[in-house]
Structure 1
Amino acid sequence: MAILLFFIGHWFLSLFFQTFFLHRYASHKMFSTSKFNERMFHLLTFICQGSSYLNPRAYAIMHREHHAYSDTEKDPHSPYFFTDVFQMMWRTAQSYKLYEKRLKEPEAQFKGSYPEWRMLDYWGSTYLSRILFGLGYIAFYIAFATHWWMFLLLPIHFMMGPIHGAIVNWCGHKYGYSNFDNGDKSKNSIPLDFLMLGELFQNNHHKRPNNSNFAAKWYEVDPVYPVMKLMHWVRLIKLRKPYIS
């Protein structure tokens, strides 16, 4: 039971901060917040993503490129230019590293308005940080695993962030239905996107990229949006006015 709870907790906490902080805040600025709260969310993203921590600056630049060049050859992770998801993940990782290490400058339109915490972002991207988190996961499994097959879950913990990204970018542009004609191949994979916390409403999101609610139809549910509304009401964040309902 402890292993199952740990796995589910890591899955959803890592995913929550990926969609809430890296996607909806760093990439799209769907809400504003104080510098203190921004640092708190930044730190929680590092803790919850752990060994697969994603640099907000690099993430935001690549995501903005994805929207600008969706499903074209300049899209950093369109599934239509790769034979399988693993090739797409490898290519995405290579592009990400260039921005993370500042070996490549983005186009001017993709720069700025993303959170930067140089010390934390540097440490979170080191091999030592990733190895220490990985050893922590392994130690927890040694202490609480009751069957050998549970250890097969460890690679998912090690690569949680990229796995979430791969699912969204592959499935969200290949499988499902479309509410809008966006000029690309974005899809809504399922009407109730609980397991991916609304990230698989890609067709809706590409139509309304700055809308904090990824659901568009009455039967669609974005589970992160009510959390953001609650955070807005208690003044942790301030949502963009046109997208509060």
Structure 2
Amino acid sequence: MTVADSPIRSRDPETSGPKPILDGTRGLPQQVGVYVFVLVPLLALIAAVPFAWGWGLGWTDIAIAAVFYVVSGLGITIGYHRYFTHGSFKTRRPLRIVLAIAGSLAMQGPVHVWVADHRRHHAFSDKEGDPHSPWLFGTGPAALLKGFWHSHTGWLFNRNMTNAQRYTPDLLADKDIRRIDALFILWSAATLLVPALLGGLLTWSWWGAVTAFFWAGLVRVGLLHHITWSINSICHMWGDQPFAARDRSTNFWPLAIASFGESWHNLHHADPTCARHGVQRGQIDISARIIWIFEKLGWAHSVRWPTTRRLERLTKTG
């Protein structure tokens, strides 16, 4: 395991190129929404262990939670990330809409907001301007602890908003995405209430609806939040760096399954548009396999698969 060992240095505005463009600040309703979407699932996640101690969790809850975790998680990894942010493959309108809605069910923000932040992250990765680098404050124990909190969750409470006109003009011009983003509150309600409805119907009880709301709704959303945010924090602090990237991105294998392959983060930063992140022997990348299935079914095309020549160029030597 390796840990990066130098802090970010401020860049001279005269020589370092353009600064990231922000789009004002969030208003009070938006800021309150961020706190609700972050803290409520987190509190549910904290309450999960005592709640499950001998009661309150059944196989119906687990099954519903697993289905919604996979759908919303792949909506983030395949949809928001590899498709909308990086264009790792192309697809037709129906799948494009499905991916946008599936990602919205993760309660991580509308498509264009998530993508704008992530594109800015790549433009300034682990440098001044990166919205969630853990290396903003130095390398001492206190600085790293502060940096971990900032990169994992703290950055979400920053009121500054990434300028969508600069980073996501393609999505703002897409009528389907604008409509889906406008209904983000609806998707957020559905991702909590539909599991409750299913739990109630499958168990034919109000208690089944309550436990499904808790486990397959709140806890599942909270768990997926922190798996996603771990890519921002853990995968820029600890892990292996077999590929030459211009930042501190790492591969962290313990998160590979839960993140659907996103924790093979070093290759991703070395080759951001590549559809497969886990390219070495034994590296499981569920998202890449699903994209491969989409391609075989004719639902995806122009997939940017890794090539041996490119991987050899990116591999560190010496």
TM-score, normalising length: structure 1: 0.79
Matched residue, 1:117? 177
CA displacement at 1:163 relative to structure 2: 2.5
Which AA in structure 2 matches 1:194?
A: I
The answer to whether the 8 Å contact 1:66/1:76 transfers is yes
Matched residue, 2:120? 65
CA distance in 2, matches of 1:145, 1:77: 37
Q: 1:44 aligned to 102, 106, 115, which one?
A: 102
- Report how many aligned residue pairs link the two structures: 231
The answer to whether the 8 Å contact 2:79/2:103 transfers is yes
CA distance in 1, matches of 2:297, 2:216: 37
Q: Which stretch of the first structure deviates more once superposed, 70-79 or 160-169? A: 160-169
Q: 2:253 aligned to 190, 207, 217, which one?
A: 190
CA distance in 1, matches of 2:257, 2:157: 26
Matched residue, 2:207? 143
The answer to whether the 8 Å contact 1:137/1:157 transfers is no
| 1:213 is the counterpart of 2:276 | yes
How many percent identity over aligned positions? 19
Which AA in structure 2 matches 1:189?
A: F
The answer to whether the 8 Å contact 1:211/1:243 transfers is yes
Matches within 5 A, 1:5-154: 5-46=63-104, 48-49=105-106, 52-81=107-136, 83=146, 85-88=148-151, 89-94=153-158, 98-99=161-162, 104-105=163-164, 108=166, 110-114=167-171, 117-124=177-184, 126=185, 130-131=188-189, 133-137=191-195, 140=199, 143-144=207-208, 151=214
Q: Evaluate the alpha carbon distance shift between residue 238 and residue 156 of structure 1 in structure 2; reply closer, same or farther with a 3 A threshold.
A: same
Matched residue, 2:300? 237
CA distance in 2, matches of 1:32, 1:85: 34
CA distance in 2, matches of 1:136, 1:91: 30
Which AA in structure 2 matches 1:111?
A: T
Q: Evaluate the alpha carbon distance shift between residue 189 and residue 8 of structure 1 in structure 2; reply closer, same or farther with a 3 A threshold.
A: same
Q: 2:290 aligned to 227, 233, 237, which one?
A: 227
CA displacement at 1:18 relative to structure 2: 0.2
5+ residue gaps in structure 2?
A: 1-58, 137-144, 201-205, 309-318
Task: Show CA shifts across 1:138-169 (max 9, x none).
Answer: 564853389x9x95786433445533331211
Task: Show CA shifts across 1:95-153 (max 9, x none).
Answer: 6x835xxxx455x4x333345522321121x3x6535643555564853389x9x9578
Which AA in structure 1 matches 2:92?
A: S
**Structure exhibiting the larger radius of gyration computed from Cα positions:** 2
CA distance in 2, matches of 1:154, 1:40: 20
CA distance in 1, matches of 2:158, 2:117: 11
The answer to whether the 8 Å contact 2:89/2:300 transfers is yes
TM-score, normalising length: structure 2: 0.62
